[in-house]
Amino acid sequence: MNQSMIKTLVLKDLYFNKNNLLLFCAMGLISVYLLSFDNRAFYIGMVLLISMVILIGALLIFSTVVNERKDQTLTFLMSLPITCMDYTKAKLIFNFTAYFLAWAILVIATIAVIFYSPHLSNGLIPYALIILLEMLVAFIIVLSTALVSESEAATIVVVTIANIGVSLFMYIIATIGSINQYMKGSVAVWNKPALMIIGIEIMIGVLFIGLTLYLQSRKKDFI
Amino acid sequence: MTDLSSNNYAIEMNNVSKSYPLFELSNINLKLETGNIMGFIGPNGAGKSTTIRILMGLIQQDQGQVRVLGHQMPDQQVAAKWDIGYASEDMRLYSKATIAWHMDYMKSIYSSWDSGYAKTLLKRFDLLDNHQIKGLSHGQRVKAALLLMLARRPKLLILDEPTTGLDPVARHEILNELMDVLLEGDRSILFSSHNTQDIEQLSDLITFIDKGKIIASQDKESYLESWRRIRLTINDDTKLPPLKGIVEQRRSGHQAIITTKLFNDELADIYKGCGASITSVENMTLEEIFVSEVQSSRLLESQTTGGLK
């Protein structure tokens, strides 16, 4: 593996995205702070948090993958001593790590707010984690689409579906009896259905990363 | 695997083909000896960029073998690319970054990066390293891309229409710089363009491509020497023989104009023997040759296709 070049590509993406990442993380933390209030601010915080997690993902993918092709800086990049697979690995590593870190901070903050806020029941924690994990998986699916399809239009379509899917997914999970019945409880219940959904989400994420690497390795034309 | 390599060649393409639904690159054979400059000429859509992308490992050929600096492509593209400087008309730098950032980035990758030479090029190209790319003109962006390529002193330069869209002054400066670069040791250059003036000024070798096929590949001097336009004065009953190498033959009253790609002194005697008198024998510019070569190739192809039908 061309490790030194992959590292160079990752650092380049970090350089161009660090300010946006910091800005979105700050916005995300503000939204988590709003969640701690027992009034309208809670709902504003909820909407803001979901929006921030979605926006960070879209920003990363468009900035590092879609725009690089659209702005023709990909040609410059591919003149460097790298292969299509080195490029793919660098994009997966940077995007996944950057999104995961931002996502993990928001997950920890969300769980902490639920845990310490008297108006929020701890029974919400599994539900919140399932929803936030869905967002992580949706991010991986959008990233895979952008890398494999090389198409801005296809990426926009998948981003849109993923965003609409969050509300739908929230509703579907909330209607599952074995999840719903513990949401207002004072204890987080990690029952079999909850763990199974989390397991399936992780498997889908891993599957899409593997599929991306496989499909990219079979590409004959890259530019 | 058959070993195509000979260290004398910077580029070797043997029977390379690549098919797309609406375009086919067929049976490309191309050799560029180390230290030479090859002008790669073709009309838009002829297959220049596809050929170059195959050389860079960005596109995988369906058939044939490709070696660049002794490395099999695309499998060994990483090893090859360490010594290839590539610039193309569609290449852009990062608009939010400065030239200095790009220079530092290249320096962090290539141990061969020559900071002193980079500074010299900055001055020569009249660029400032603290300028953001988005504030530069097209000519300045091309110069910045060439600077980044040249300052790491690659063994092979692959340039895909780098002067397209440049004003005459910027084009002149860039061509002069490339001429200087070639004087430094055994550097090889493949220079694609549809601007025959650039190619004529720069190249040792000429390769024409049209409709995905190489239609001529030769050293520039002998190639230019082999083409002539012969003007004849003829009588009504003069029959001009169908000689080998005649690309075009036009008659108008008592005048005839012959374009040949295999000129030699005996031609004049043959025409005199037919009752024609030579009015003039003219050299042709590369542009005139290019147009004639493409037209005759297309005519031949349509005749062959027609014949097959």
Q: Name every chain A residue with its beta carbon within 8 A of the beta carbon of B87.
A: 79
Predicted pLDDT of residue B253: 83
The count of structural domains within chain A is 1
How confident is the model over B85-93, as a mean pLDDT? 91
Q: Is B278 part of a structural domain of the chain?
A: yes
Residues B38 and B82 in one domain: yes
Please, what is the angle between helix A3-35 and helix A40-61, to 10°?
170
Residues B113 and B250 in one domain: no
Q: Is B15 part of a structural domain of the chain?
A: yes
Residues B65 and B160 in one domain: yes
Does B100 contact chain A (CB < 8 Å)?
no
Identity (one letter) of the amino acid at A78? Answer: M
Q: Is A222 part of a structural domain of the chain?
A: no
Q: Is B90 part of a structural domain of the chain?
A: yes
Residue B54 phi, psi dihedral angles, 5° rounding: -65, -40
Predicted pLDDT of residue B19: 94
Instruction: Provide the residue range defining the domain that includes A11.
Output: 3-217
Predicted pLDDT of residue B234: 86
Does B91 contact chain A (CB < 8 Å)?
yes
Whichever domain contains B257, its CATH number is 3.30.70
Say if CB B63 and CB B250 are below 8 A apart. Answer: no
Residues B48 and B144 in one domain: yes
Say if CB A221 and CB B59 are below 8 A apart. Answer: yes
Q: Which of B216, B244, B264 is the last residue of a domain?
A: B216
Residues B235 and B128 in one domain: no
Question: Confidence band (pLDDT; 50, 70, 90) for B110?
Answer: very high
Outline where B56-150 has alpha helix (H). 77-81, 99-109, 115-124, 138-150
A220/B59 CB distance under 8 A: yes
Does B291 contact chain A (CB < 8 Å)?
no
Residues B164 and B289 in one domain: no
Predicted pLDDT of residue B6: 52
Q: Is B230 part of a structural domain of the chain?
A: yes
| pLDDT for B1 beyond 80 | no
Using CA atoms, how far apart are residues A72 and B28, in angstroms rounded to an integer?
Answer: 27
Predicted pLDDT of residue B206: 92
Q: Is B4 part of a structural domain of the chain?
A: no
Q: Is A76 part of a structural domain of the chain?
A: yes
Nearest-10 Cα torsion for B295, B216, B54, B93? -70
- Tell which of A18, A76, A88, A218 to mutate to test the B interface (max B CBs under 10 Å): A76
Instruction: Provide the residue range defining the domain that includes B152.
Output: 9-216
Residues B253 and B198 in one domain: no
In the stretch 18-77 of chain A, residues with CB closer than 8 A to chain B read: 71-73, 75-76
Whichever domain contains B165, its CATH number is 3.40.50.300
Taking chain A (223 residues) in consecutive chunks of 10 residues, what is each chunk's mean pLDDT? 91 93 85 79 82 88 94 94 95 95 85 83 93 94 95 94 89 91 89 95 97 94 82
Kindly state the percentage of chain B with pLDDT values over 70.
95
Nearest-10 Cα torsion for A49, A50, A53, A57? -150
| pLDDT for B216 beyond 50 | yes
- Give SS3 for B165: coil
Residues B141 and B280 in one domain: no
Q: Which string of DSSP letters, residue by residue, matches B8-37? A: TEEEEEEEEEEE-SS-EEEEEEEEEETT-E
Q: Is B2 part of a structural domain of the chain?
A: no
Does B55 contact chain A (CB < 8 Å)?
no
What is the distance in angstroms between the Cα of B8 and the nearest Cα belonging to chain A? 23
Predicted pLDDT of residue B126: 86
The pLDDT tens digits of the residues spanning B189-209 come to 999 987 888 888 888 899 999
Using CA atoms, how far apart are residues B177 and B294, in angstroms rounded to an integer?
Answer: 30
Q: Which of B181, B216, B251 is the last residue of a domain?
A: B216
B105/A12 CB distance under 8 A: yes
Q: Is B26 part of a structural domain of the chain?
A: yes
A73/B87 CB distance under 8 A: no
Question: Confidence band (pLDDT; 50, 70, 90) for B306?
Answer: low
Q: Which string of DSSP letters, residue by residue, matches chain A? A: --HHHHHHHHHHHHHHHHHHHHHHHHHHHHHHHHHTSSSHHHHHHHHHHHHHHHHHHHHHHIIIIIHHHHTTHHHHHHTSS--HHHHHHHHHHHHHHHHHHHHHHHHHHHHHHHHH-TTS-TTHHHHHHHHHHHHHHHHHHHHHHHHHH--HHHHHHHHHHHHHHHHHHHHHHHH-HHHHHHHTSSS----HHHHHHHHHHHHHHHHHHHHHHHHHHT-SB--
Residues B205 and B228 in one domain: no
Residues B182 and B303 in one domain: no
| pLDDT for B309 beyond 60 | no
Residues B114 and B254 in one domain: no
- Position of tokens 């050299």? B283
Does B50 contact chain A (CB < 8 Å)?
no
Say if CB A53 and CB A25 are below 8 A apart. Answer: no
Q: Which of B182, B216, B250 is the last residue of a domain?
A: B216
Using CA atoms, how far apart are residues B103 and B117, in angstroms rounded to an integer?
Answer: 11
| pLDDT for B2 beyond 50 | no
Q: Is A223 part of a structural domain of the chain?
A: no
The count of structural domains within chain B is 2
B91/A76 CB distance under 8 A: yes
Predicted pLDDT of residue B242: 81
Q: Is B3 part of a structural domain of the chain?
A: no
B82/A81 CB distance under 8 A: yes
- Name the helix (H) or strand (E) containing B231: strand B228-233
Terminal Cα distance for chain A, rounded: 21
Residues B200 and B240 in one domain: no
